[in-house]
């Protein structure tokens, strides 16, 4: 076969694995900052330190790169929600969830923005992934409903509770430019994060305890 389209059936060489990672890292940077449409293959190739045809030797299309990133991200993105333990103490489980989500916004802002970009544009490329997300949420909502029934947490709408946790935590990644513009040089990065964590704890704990 004359054209062994790199990422075909099975991983092959050392170089392939390395370069594919380099490309994905570069693409994450570019997609997060410019969106899918705004990103060009040339930009990604530049960021990855290779030529455009060379990049296209490893991934067949721009969309293929995006697809891999989205799949990876959504998976790790939902880990904190999966980690909520039915047998744990409700309020401390929720507190941990918020803290984990906030840590992800701090540590993986590009992943958050890439995802936000996709949703904002109407999620044209991730319909089925959204279905997986719905299934997981539905499952966890049942847990919250049980806790509410048992009087272990306040009687609120669990769907909207999840939305509000997503919104408040991801805000610090997705709207970082705005947050920085408003806070100015008031606080350094880490202090800012701790302020946010403390505030969200206060808000949600007293908002959700029975």
What residues make contact with DNA under the rule CB under 7 A?
Answer: 1, 4, 6, 12-16, 19, 39-42, 50-54, 56-57, 60-63
Please choose which of DNA, a second copy, none residue 210 contacts, taking the beta carbon within 5 to 8 angstroms, the exact cut-off set by kind.
none
| Eight-state DSSP code of residue 10 | S
Token duo for residue 199: 């505030």
- What span, in angstroms and rounded, lies between the C-alpha atoms of 180 and 174? 12
Are the beta carbons of 28 and 69 closer than 8 angstroms?
Answer: yes
Of the pair 16, 164, the CB lying nearest a second copy is at 164
Number of residues binding to a second copy, judged by CB under 8 A: 55
Q: Which of residues 59-118 bind a second copy (CB under 8 A)?
A: 113, 116-117
Of the pair 41, 68, the CB lying nearest DNA is at 41
Are the beta carbons of 35 and 121 closer than 8 angstroms?
Answer: yes
State whether residue 174 is helix, strand or coil. Answer: helix
Of the pair 26, 50, the CB lying nearest a second copy is at 26
Are the beta carbons of 61 and 125 closer than 8 angstroms?
Answer: no
Of the pair 41, 78, the CB lying nearest DNA is at 41
- What span, in angstroms and rounded, lies between the C-alpha atoms of 26 and 4? 23
Of the pair 150, 178, the CB lying nearest a second copy is at 178
Are the beta carbons of 69 and 27 closer than 8 angstroms?
Answer: yes
Q: How far is the CB of 5 from a second copy (least distance, A)?
A: 28
Q: Which of 7, 143, 145, 179 binds a second copy (CB under 8 A)?
A: 179
Q: How far is the CB of 184 from a second copy (least distance, A)?
A: 7
Please choose which of a second copy, DNA, none residue 6 contacts, taking the beta carbon within 5 to 8 angstroms, the exact cut-off set by kind.
DNA
Q: Which of 182, 185, 189, 190 binds a second copy (CB under 8 A)?
A: 182
Distance of CA 83 to the CA centre of its chain: 15
Classify residue 29 by burial, with Cβ atoms within 10 Å: 0-12, 13-18, 19+: middle
- What span, in angstroms and rounded, lies between the C-alpha atoms of 204 and 210? 12
Q: Footprint of a second copy on this chain (CB under 8 A)? A: 33-38, 113, 116-117, 119-123, 130-131, 133-134, 137, 154, 156-157, 159-164, 166-168, 170-172, 174-175, 177-179, 181-184, 186, 195-196, 198-200, 202-204, 206-208
């Amino acid at each position: 076969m004359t054209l062994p389209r790199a990422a075909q059936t099975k991983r092959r060489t050392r170089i392939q694995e390395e370069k594919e990672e380099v490309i994905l890292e570069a693409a994450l940077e570019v997609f997060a900052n410019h969106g899918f449409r705004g990103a060009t293959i040339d930009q990604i190739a530049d960021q990855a330190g290779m030529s455009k045809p060379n990049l296209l030797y490893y991934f067949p299309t721009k969309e293929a790169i995006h697809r891999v990133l989205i799949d990876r991200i959504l998976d790790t993105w939902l880990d904190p929600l999966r980690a909520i333990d039915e047998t744990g103490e409700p309020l401390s489980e929720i507190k941990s969830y918020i803290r984990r989500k906030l840590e992800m916004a701090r540590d993986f802002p590009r992943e958050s923005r890439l995802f936000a970009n996709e949703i904002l544009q109407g999620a044209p490329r991730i319909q089925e992934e959204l279905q997986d997300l719905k299934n997981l949420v539905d499952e966890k909502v049942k847990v919250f409903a049980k806790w509410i029934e048992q009087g272990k947490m306040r009687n609120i709408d669990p769907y909207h509770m999840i939305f509000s946790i997503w919104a408040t935590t991801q805000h610090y990644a997705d709207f970082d430019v705005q947050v920085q513009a408003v806070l100015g040089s008031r606080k350094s990065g880490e202090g800012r994060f701790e302020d946010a964590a403390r505030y969200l704890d206060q808000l949600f704990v007293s908002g959700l305890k029975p």
